[in-house]
Amino acid sequence: MKNWIPNDLIYEILSRLPAISVARCRCVSKQWRSILRHQVFTELFLARSKARPRLLIGVQQDGEWRFYSTPQSQNPCENKLSPADFHMKFSKGISNYSCSYASGLIYFDGMCIRKEDEDAKHVLCDPLTGKYVILPELRVGDSYSYLGFDPVDKEFKVLFMTTRNNIAWKDLDHYILTLGTGELKWRRIRCAFTHEPVWERICINGVLYYSAMNSDGDYVIVSFDVRSEKFKLVDAECRSRFNGLINYKGKLCGIILEYASHDGGFTVKLSMWVLEDVEKPEWSKHVYSLWTESQVVKVNHNLSVSGMTATGDIVLSTKYASQPFYVFYFNPERKTLQVPSVEVEGLGANRACISYYAFADYVEDLSVNDAVRQLKSSPLQQEGQNIVTKRPKPRQGQDTSHDLSKSAPSVKNKYEFLADKLNHSVSLAILFCLFFLLFSYIIRLGWVR
């Protein structure tokens, strides 16, 4: 009777829990830890998570960052108010910079952290668990940096483009850092062409795309293969700067928003530029008019591009608002516009200066959590000590990442610390499910007559 509950039954039960609860269950025993890190379980959990994607929301208020998520709208005819689930927050006064997103992780390319020196840091964080890592410092002047993910080797990489007078010159050293290799070290790389990087970025199937300007002042797209670490300059037929980049059915798509009325309200003209062939390059253009009969929703030149869902909805959201926070789901094929609102709690009385950052199709991926577990925060060192010349091979690292939402444990080791955080309600729910399914399993075996 040693293995009286089959592993596949445990997989079936625990794959329905949130990722944070799975992380707590891994602390129950070494056996549970082994079971819940098995590839079969992580793949099953990811499949279930993809079936219930969420909208990740970052809220910036008075220098404080909070992260929430809410289920993505599935009904094109439903415009209801939905509450947002709170995940974590940064301490007040930590950062006034924007953030970006790739495959479950949030990246801040300029964060000022209390109790550190005054220089801005490059910080990666898991909004689900609150763990983060400060990347080693590079004292090379101005820069743009981007986060990419290689789905083949399951590696996150940070691309650091050194700039002089806002230009990434081809004769400058640029840098790349691979996560999960046991140590955080930058490597020098070169880009064969000069360009001026700008903010808009997205990673699609292992290729990082970001907007830029060429030497003639025209807007272009730079593609960077995360695995091979090769750059490519892609001409953009659209000579205007995109408001955002999205993953349109596996292809890069640039979005341009134009407001018809002088007050920045509806109708909104949405232009899609889809990169059909990256080698030629060949683009297709599609133009739509967005309209809502709601007299409550006011966009006021206030929309940002949040991504695209797996069901084909382009997601827009309000950048600055008080309450509620509006999300716009536009389906180009059905030509439908859905405008649900999201109630974000815990924002306090001062809601005049709130910035929202929303990211569509957020899924809980345990392999991402395991990658964060391997991150290693390095103390500030001299510039030369943070740079290596050879590309590292992936290997297992130790869990030395930090928890933003709690103070660090003192004497307890990490597993005892996490075990102390086990939520009573989650534990009871797990035990109830286990006993119920065990009883059903025994009945099926004919042990109970």
* Per-residue pLDDT at 55 exceeds 90: yes
Considering the domain architecture, whether residues 272 and 416 belong to the same structural domain is answered as no
Q: What letter does residue 226 receive in the DSSP assignment?
A: T
Q: Does residue 136 sit in the same domain as residue 45?
A: no
- Lookup result for tokens 């232009």: 271
237 and 292 share one domain: yes
In a shared domain, residues 113 and 236: yes
Q: How confident is the model at residue 63 (pLDDT cuts 50, 70, 90)?
A: confident
pLDDT greater than 70 at residue 24: yes
Does one domain contain both 286 and 428?
A: no
Each residue's pLDDT tens digit, 358-416:
999 998 888 766 665 555 443 333 334 455 556 666 544 333 334 333 333 333 343 33
Q: Is residue 84, in this structure, part of any structural domain at all?
A: no
Final residue of a structural domain among 341, 368, 395? 368
Count the domains in the chain.
2
Is residue 78 scored above 80 in pLDDT?
Answer: no
Answer yes or no: do 423 and 360 share one domain.
Answer: no
Residues 112 and 1 grouped into a single domain:
no
pLDDT tens per residue, range 102-148: 988 999 887 766 655 567 788 888 887 777 888 888 888 888 999 99
Asked if the model's pLDDT at residue 183 lies above 90, the reply is no
Mark whether 164 and 262 lie in a shared domain. Answer: yes
Task: Kindly provide the residue ranges of all beta strands, DSSP E only, lying in 291-444, ordered along the sequence.
Answer: 303-308, 314-318, 325-331, 336-338, 341-343, 354-362, 387-388, 402-403
For residue 325, the number of C-alpha atoms closer than 13 Å in the C-beta half-sphere is 27
Q: CA dist 196 to 54, 80, 232, Å?
A: 34, 42, 14
Band the pLDDT of 1: cuts 50, 70, 90: very low
Residue percentage of the chain with pLDDT more than 70 = 71
How much is the pLDDT for 358? 93
Which stretch of 1-10, 18-27, 93-102, 420-429 has the lowest confidence by average pLDDT?
A: 420-429
117 and 4 together in one domain? no
In this structure, the answer to whether residues 361 and 427 fall within a common structural domain is no
Residues 45 and 105 in one domain: no
CA–CA dist 391, 412 (Å, integer): 35
Average pLDDT over residues 302-318: 92
What is the per-residue pLDDT for 401?
38
298 & 425 share domain: no
* Cα angle for residues 11, 15, 17 (degrees, 5° grid): 135
Closest CA to 343 of 61, 70, 10: 70
Q: What is the CATH number of the domain that holds 124?
A: 2.120.10
Residue 223 lies in a domain: yes
In this prediction, residues 176-194 reach a mean pLDDT of: 88
Residues 333-359 pLDDT 10s: 999 888 888 888 767 666 667 888 999
The per-residue pLDDT for 228 is 95
Segments forming the whole domain that contains residue 215? 56-61+93-305+356-368
Q: What is the mean pLDDT of residues 216-221?
A: 93
The radius of gyration computed from the CA coordinates of the chain, to the nearest angstrom, equals 23
In a domain, 348, yes or no: no
Cis peptide before 281 (omega within 30 of 0): yes
Sequence-separated (6 or more) residues with CB below 8 Å from residue 397? 180, 181, 182, 183, 374, 375, 376
